[in-house]
Amino acid sequence: MLSYVDARGEPVSGASEEAISLFETALAQLQCYQGDPVATIESAISDSPGFIMAHCLRAYVFALTTEQSAMAEVRASYEAAGDVTSLARERRHLHVVGHLLNGNWERAVAVLEDILIDSPRDALALQVLHLSDFFLGDARNLRDHVARVLPEWSVDDPGYHALLGMYAFGLVECGDYARAEDMGRKALALNPCDAWAQHAVAHVMEMQGRQEEGIDWMNQGRHHRAGDNALAVHNWWHLALFHLDLDQIDRVLELYDGPIRGGRSPAVLDLIDATALMWRLHLRGIDSATRWSELAESWEALAEGGFYAFNDAHAMMAFAAADRDKAAAALLVAQQKAMVGNASNAMVTHQVGHPLCNALRAFGRGDYATAVHLLRPLRSRLSRFGGSHDQRDVVDLTLMEAARRDGQLALVRELANERIELKPTSPLNQRYREEASRRLAELSGVAMV
């Protein structure tokens, strides 16, 4: 069996030098979310069918889509890799893939940690760990899993920019915005193609309510929104959020009908962004039957209810807004089945996903009191179903609007107060507070001054 080391000095088995070079290209594509890492790694596998790490990389790319339909490809790579390797690191990677196949993300994370304790320069392990932390909503480890290994790297190592980009994202999710922006900008100075770093800085601007700056920032990073970038739709979504925060609805819809949904991407990650944007408009009373029908049909066609609670919530938004009660009911049944068993999603669906979907369905039916009742206790554990603060904010917005529509004005005012403390530049937050205060004053007979 051939034995070489990769670009960071980690031994690999079953690969030619040419195949290792292709592996490095696929890894770089994965780190920047650019190009087609699957096609690249399949070339490596064609060259060296016994290349264990190439099979693992291919399995990871499919597992990280969070799509149930992709799991057949994960299994194919797992089986193609076999279990013939003398290298402990490779055996551990195979264990990770096995845990992902069983839907056990916590066990996958534990083994990835083990890999990095012994091999802190394993860039693929770190990449997969970072995204696993993201799907588990583990803000602390989005930051600290990267911090653990950073000193073992140098700026001259290939892919060092990706560590800084990941660290930037971890920092922003932990609220350390100044350091996050600094890290993100440093990553981009090393590699302007680092879409994750560019996206991390966008998150800083979003969290701080720097809307105009955010629009400029996203427009500068046009190649991060190009068609060959896996983060393209997500980055267009971020641009749309800045415009939405400034009440520039026409521009939001233009982006929606263009780069966000114009391509009708069937990818779940793209559907999530499109649905979340339409739901934010729905909360403002801006609707479109045509757009909602298309989204609901796309979610129904996927038929992946019960696979991942975060995805379920977005499917339910589409079913609720498009008035697809049969599809909504089927999704709740699928979640009930998913809550049985040991997969990571069973607990998350029980604790967050199922009550959230019930709340969204209640909102869609106009039962705002039930929506408030279900959503209020969810807020403290919402992060467990994954995503970023920015993505989960749609739930807070739903609670505030449900409270407003149910006439719970004191609650609306308090929720708006919370938001204004964090983001005083958002006109929407100010509107919620002003309206609630005015209506409360009117009800109590106190004249506004």
Instruction: State which residue, 24 or 181, has the beta carbon closest to Fe ion.
Output: 181
Instruction: State which residue, 45 or 218, has the beta carbon closest to Fe ion.
Output: 218
Taking the complex as a whole, how short is the minimal distance between the CB of residue 116 and Fe ion, in angstroms?
24
Instruction: State which residue, 208 or 388, has the beta carbon closest to Fe ion.
Output: 388
Tell which positions 98-157 bind Fe ion, by CB under 5 A.
none
Instruction: State which residue, 132 or 388, has the beta carbon closest to Fe ion.
Output: 388
Tell which positions 387-416 bind Fe ion, by CB under 5 A.
388
Tell which positions 370-389 bind Fe ion, by CB under 5 A.
388
Taking the complex as a whole, how short is the minimal distance between the CB of residue 32 and Fe ion, in angstroms?
16
Q: Which residue in the shown chain puts its C-beta closest to Fe ion?
A: 388
Tell which positions 33-52 bind Fe ion, by CB under 5 A.
none
Angle at the Cα of 73 from the Cα atoms of 68 and 77, rounded to 5 degrees: 135
Instruction: State which residue, 74 or 205, has the beta carbon closest to Fe ion.
Output: 205
Tell which positions 62-91 bind Fe ion, by CB under 5 A.
none
Taking the complex as a whole, how short is the minimal distance between the CB of residue 261 and Fe ion, in angstroms?
17
Taking the complex as a whole, how short is the minimal distance between the CB of residue 237 and Fe ion, in angstroms?
8
Count of residues interacting with Fe ion (CB under 5 A): 1
Taking the complex as a whole, how short is the minimal distance between the CB of residue 383 and Fe ion, in angstroms?
14
Instruction: State which residue, 226 or 443, has the beta carbon closest to Fe ion.
Output: 226
Taking the complex as a whole, how short is the minimal distance between the CB of residue 234 and Fe ion, in angstroms?
6
Tell which positions 150-189 bind Fe ion, by CB under 5 A.
none
Phi, psi for 210 (deg, rounded to 5): -95, 70
Taking the complex as a whole, how short is the minimal distance between the CB of residue 392 and Fe ion, in angstroms?
11
Instruction: State which residue, 71 or 276, has the beta carbon closest to Fe ion.
Output: 276
Instruction: State which residue, 41 or 207, has the beta carbon closest to Fe ion.
Output: 207
Instruction: State which residue, 349 or 388, has the beta carbon closest to Fe ion.
Output: 388
Taking the complex as a whole, how short is the minimal distance between the CB of residue 226 and Fe ion, in angstroms?
17
Taking the complex as a whole, how short is the minimal distance between the CB of residue 202 and Fe ion, in angstroms?
7
For every residue of the chain, which 3-state class applies, written as one string?
Answer: CCEEECCCCCEEECCCHHHHHHHHHHHHHHHHCECCHHHHHHHHHHHCCCCHHHHHHHHHHHHCCCCHHHHHHHHHHHHHHCCCCCCHHHHHHHHHHHHHHCCCHHHHHHHHHHHHHHCCCCHHHHHHHHHHHHHCCCHHHHHHHHHHHHHHCCCCCCCHHHHHHHHHHHHHHCCCHHHHHHHHHHHHHHCCCCHHHHHHHHHHHHHCCCHHHHHHHHHHCHHHHCCCECCHHHHHHHHHHHHHHCCCHHHHHHHHHHHHCCCCCCCHHHHHHHHHHHHHHHHCCCCCHHHHHHHHHHHHHHCCCCCCHHHHHHHHHHHHHCCCHHHHHHHHHHHHHHCCCCCHHHHHHHHHHHHHHHHHHHHHCCCHHHHHHHHHHHHHHHHHHCCCHHHHHHHHHHHHHHHHHCCCHHHHHHHHHHHHHHCCCCHHHHHHHHHHHHHHHHHHCCCCC
State the residues that interact with Fe ion by CB under 5 A.
388
